[in-house]
A and B are shown apart, each in its own frame.
Chain A
């Protein structure tokens, strides 16, 4: 029998070019984190299942690569690296003074999805700030995540900030039978808004909180959305979440990130351990988030060292690189194009889709390149 030269389905070799891309991405992200005072730690690929279970829900546990080591203990390959860092902080770093700023880079594995050769091994670079509560710490980690996306080369990106407690407060306040509440949670976890609507339509009660739940996917925008939501919620938990969001947003504006930060009250996250501010980074032309993180104040206590904590991981390092390359190519193409047009008309490239055009003696207009090309062609005929 010929050996399986392509490796196990879902896993792949990185050839020199790809390996260099990955290493460069990891190094530039770790370097940015180091500049912010985050120290690099390396935790093992393998963790005891007892440790990982402290932070994962049933579905995520099912997706772990599990096996039994020689001592008969069930161990697993890590599916994310926040839990190992929490174990480290509560274990070997037990006597280290808080706050601790740590970062990591490494592979994470999933036993799922390998059937059709989807990737089961991906690479993450992340940072954790343990032992700091409050808006300043939340804003620090979000700002670091944003600067990391820049360090990875993304020039256009956005960061959506939400709050895990906003939804929990609504679920407390809304008067629904327990079974319906469970249905609402699982519909939201599955991002199934049709099921959500059906569930809520069948309940006779109507309140502002109902309306909020129904509008969940569309609850995003600028600071105006906080006022709008504030007018609809009538519970302390959600109100507190809104005021924390407002504070974090102010700080992010002070970090110089006002232009890229949006607020998303309908944020839904797969990890149960989030307890406060949560956020996601998106790049252009990427169908999925490139960074994910948030506050998880209760995870460390499960390891016996109660401490507030927040952190994030950057995902899809190759996807980001592809965007960077595409944009660079578009820019290069655009520049080449306007150089070819000649000096009679003053043309200035403003990104790939916009060109400022000043015809001789005329006023300057900003147009898409094709239109400028058409007008020039017309002018010369």
Chain B
């Protein structure tokens, strides 16, 4: 019985392909997958989608499984099962402010904090949970630029090494969460095709643990 898995384009793709190979599922190059978008071999179908689309493919059952960053899952709030921490692609979601800014810990936040982000849902709910009024400005790219031109007090963004932040003269004021790649599964696939899907989950879990 065929099992399908959605992989994200971008930073997590090499790690995801390495995992598929280490788990003995499929050896596949990023170039080949990038060209064909859909590859099917020995009962496993791999599809390549944008990172933010992985939960949608899995939630609607178009893919049985998916690999995506925890940051994407925070934002999606979907109906999938989060099954395995795959450990690769670690990064932190941080509040970053200009180096010269007076903003630091929660006691220094202004009554209304204005932040730019690509992750509006996560940002809003994190500040809400801490009783901080926040105005979220949704941007789709180059978020680092926004505080430098006075659009916002700070940004909420993902950082792996902190280099982009330093290059843009930003410093970390708070950490909202940390993220790694996760394996997610469709609810109905896990129930109706348990054996085939769980077998693949097991192989990927072992593969992830071997590496870690």
Contacts and interface: CB of A to CB of B under 8 A. Distances in A.
Given A288-B61, A288-B187, A191 B82 contact: yes
Contacts of B192: 158, 282, 284
Interface in A180-197: 190-195, 197
Nearest to A192: B82
Most buried by A among B84, B186, B194: B194
Nearest to A158: B192
Nearest to A113: B77
A217 interface: yes
B59 interface: yes
A287 B188 contact: yes
Q: Interface residues of B: mostly helix, strand, loop or mixed?
A: mixed
A288 B59 CA distance: 8
Contact of B190 (A192, A198, A217, A286): A217
B191 A280 contact: yes
A193 B81 contact: yes
B189 interface: yes
Given A193-B82, A194-B85, A288 B191 contact: no
A288 B188 CA distance: 5
Contacts, number: 55
Given A218-B198, A285-B61, A287-B61, A194 B191 contact: no
A289 interface: yes
Nearest to B61: A287
A194 B60 CA distance: 21
A129 B60 CA distance: 32
Interface in A276-301: 280, 282, 284-289
Contacts of A220: 191, 194
By size class, the interface of chain B is 20 to 34
Interface string B174-198: 0000000010011111111010001
A286 B61 contact: yes
A165 interface: no
B82 A287 contact: no
A194 B182 contact: yes
Nearest to B82: A192
A191 B80 contact: yes
Nearest to B187: A288
A266 to B, nearest CB: 9
Interface string B133-162: 000000000000000000000000000000
Contacts of B189: 287
Interface string B56-90: 00011110000000000000000111111100000
Contacts of B80: 191
A160 interface: yes
B187 to A, nearest CB: 7
Given A191-B80, A194-B84, A287-B60, A158 B191 contact: yes
Contacts of A80: none
B188 A289 contact: yes
A254 B78 CA distance: 38
Given A287-B61, A287-B62, A288-B61, A282 B82 contact: no
A191 B59 CA distance: 12
Nearest to B81: A191
Contacts of B61: 285-288
Contacts of B85: 194, 197-198
A337 to B, nearest CB: 21
A264 interface: yes
B83 A193 contact: yes
B53 to A, nearest CB: 13
Contacts of A282: 188, 191-192
A219 to B, nearest CB: 10
A197 B183 CA distance: 14
Contact of A264 (B79, B185, B191): B191
Interface in B16-74: 59-62
B59 A287 contact: yes
Interface string A143-180: 00000000000000010100000000000000000000
11 contacts: A158-B191, A158-B192, A190-B82, A194-B82, A218-B198, A282-B188, A287-B59, A287-B186, A287-B189, A288-B188, A289-B188
Interface of A: 158, 160, 190-195, 197-198, 217-218, 220-221, 262, 264, 280, 282, 284-289
